[in-house]
Amino acid sequence: MSKIQSVKAREILDSRGTPTLEVEIETSEGIKARAAVPSGASTGAHEAIELRDKDPKRYLGKGVMKALNNVREICAPAVVGMNVRDWKEVDKKLLAADGTENKAKLGANAILGVSLACARAGALTEKQELFQFLGGTAATRLPVPLMNIINGGAHANNGIDIQEFMIVPTCGGSFREALRAGSEIFQTLKKILDEDGFSVAVGDEGGFAPKLKGNRAALEYVMKAIEKAGYKPGQDVSLALDVAATELFKDGKYTWEGKKISSEEVTDIYAGWAKDFPLVSVEDGLSEDDWEGWIHQTKTLGSKLQLVGDDLFVTNPKRLKDGISKKAANAILIKVNQIGSLSETLDAIKMAKAASFRTVMSHRSGETEDTTISDLAVAFDCEQIKTGSLCRGERTAKYNQLLRIEEALGAKGSYWGRKAFAGQV
């Protein structure tokens, strides 16, 4: 039996230059594996706790030495000696060592780092790719990428309310061809924005962050780029949004382009856009606790649009269960650090699939070069993945890993493509 021999942690930098945790596991066979933890900016109130030092003398309070010490002093002694292939048992041990509902004691960052590093060490021990180790022979489908090419909201300072304007290349028959379409549209958008005198500097997730007139103007630019790049909107490439509406919500109203409007009015705006644009998906179209609004939105738009709960569900099986029974949303965003362990991430995906909710594996706006989510998307057969724009190394790292996975699968592999949006495209 290959055992966990040591668990180390280090403080590294994420893509925003903010500290995050990296965990490294060494096994009794001398195998070393590591995993880095991502971090959000528009975080949901119900996410598991990301432990930060709050020591203003280091990294403006954002150091992660407390979480690091929790890995060293509590997680490591708890899991050393365990079978490295038993990632689910390792997770159980970690959750028991924490003992809180929201991982407040050890920190979701500490637990997740160990959880992911263990899965990676297990895969290496079995001489398998991570997606094969976790998903077995059934793991053969490549997800459709939702590519965030215009950034606004909390990820940019351009005054646009909506956080992410995404393209959805369902065309091409393979992930590789879909990636090519995304890249060509991204480069075309850059050219068009530049010609019109807008900035082509990029936001946190690598999308452009031009100071456009408003949300609709951003949608129109994306449409122009799709067409100019030679693709058919709605047929080859569709549109998706992450409104991150929790950020717009205050005292029961949404601040929308300077006006205060109700959740029904926000829903009416999406209904209008769904007529005017090939829009297939709206994520966090309403705020995280606006359950009534979500129920209404799902009733009115759920047959036409994929409605994705991110802050609403925070990858938490308990909140998802609530959402399923209330018929709020019809899809879930999956972020490993929102819940803080691999096992619970898988639980959320299984629950979603059992309720015919679609699943979108996702990065965070603060990322690293770690590519675990690419493997998870294939291993757990998520129809879609959201991992940012077509530039910035921490984003392209995930796309490049999906290319490798597609290559490794060869003839056994397939692209989710249009099937990911059955009934819509």
Residue ranges that bind Zn ion, judged by CB under 5 A: 242, 284, 310
Our CB check for Zn ion shows the closer of 310 and 367 to be 310
Report, in Å, the least distance between residue 230 CB and Zn ion.
30
Selected range binding ligand PGA among 40-48, 256-264, 268-276, 312-320, rule: CB under 6 A: 40-48
What kind and span of H or E run contains 11? strand 4-13
Output the CA–CA distances (angstroms, integers) from residue 123 to 34, 120, 356, 405, in the order listed. 12, 5, 29, 14
For strands 358-362 and 414-415, give the pairing: unpaired
Rg (CA), the chain: 21
Report, in Å, the least distance between residue 310 CB and Zn ion.
3
Selected range binding ligand PGA among 4-12, 35-43, 171-179, 265-273, rule: CB under 6 A: 35-43
Q: Considering Cα of 171, then 207, then 336, then 318, what sign does the dihedral take?
A: negative
Q: How far apart are CA 291 and CA 281, in angstroms?
A: 19
The HSE-up count of residue 87 (CA atoms within 13 Å, CB side) is 26
Q: How far apart are CA 287 and CA 244, in angstroms?
A: 8
Our CB check for Zn ion shows the closer of 172 and 203 to be 203
Q: Per CB under 6 A, does 244 bind ligand PGA?
A: yes
Our CB check for Zn ion shows the closer of 91 and 284 to be 284
Number of residue whose CB is nearest ligand PGA: 40
Mark residues 346-385: x for contact with ligand PGA by CB under 6 A, - for none: ----------------x-xx--------------------
CA-based nearest residue to 412, from 148, 187, 203, 138: 138
Report, in Å, the least distance between residue 189 CB and ligand PGA.
20
Report, in Å, the least distance between residue 284 CB and ligand PGA.
7
Which of 98, 129, 236, 242 touches ligand PGA (CB under 6 A)? 242
Our CB check for ligand PGA shows the closer of 52 and 85 to be 52
Report, in Å, the least distance between residue 90 CB and Zn ion.
29
Q: Per CB under 6 A, does 42 bind ligand PGA?
A: yes
Q: How far apart are CA 268 and CA 214, in angstroms?
A: 17
Our CB check for ligand PGA shows the closer of 40 and 278 to be 40
Output the CA–CA distances (angstroms, integers) from residue 118 to 4, 96, 124, 318, 346, in the order listed. 8, 16, 10, 25, 15
Our CB check for ligand PGA shows the closer of 242 and 406 to be 242
CA-based nearest residue to 24, from 13, 11, 39, 15: 11
Site residue total, ligand PGA (CB under 6 A): 10
Residue 40 interaction partner, one of ligand PGA, Zn ion, none, beta carbon < 5-8 Å per kind? ligand PGA
What kind and span of H or E run contains 8? strand 4-13
Q: 191 and 143 in contact (C-beta within 8 Å)?
A: no
Residue 391 interaction partner, one of Zn ion, ligand PGA, none, beta carbon < 5-8 Å per kind? none
Q: How far apart are CA 354 and CA 188, in angstroms?
A: 40
Alpha carbon 81 to chain centroid, angstroms = 32
How many CB atoms lie under 10 A from the CB of residue 261? 15
Report, in Å, the least distance between residue 335 CB and Zn ion.
8
Q: Per CB under 6 A, does 43 bind ligand PGA?
A: yes
Residue 365 interaction partner, one of Zn ion, ligand PGA, none, beta carbon < 5-8 Å per kind? ligand PGA
Which residues belong to the active site? 205, 335
Our CB check for Zn ion shows the closer of 332 and 409 to be 332
Chain residues binding ligand PGA by CB under 6 A are: 40-43, 242, 244, 310, 362, 364-365
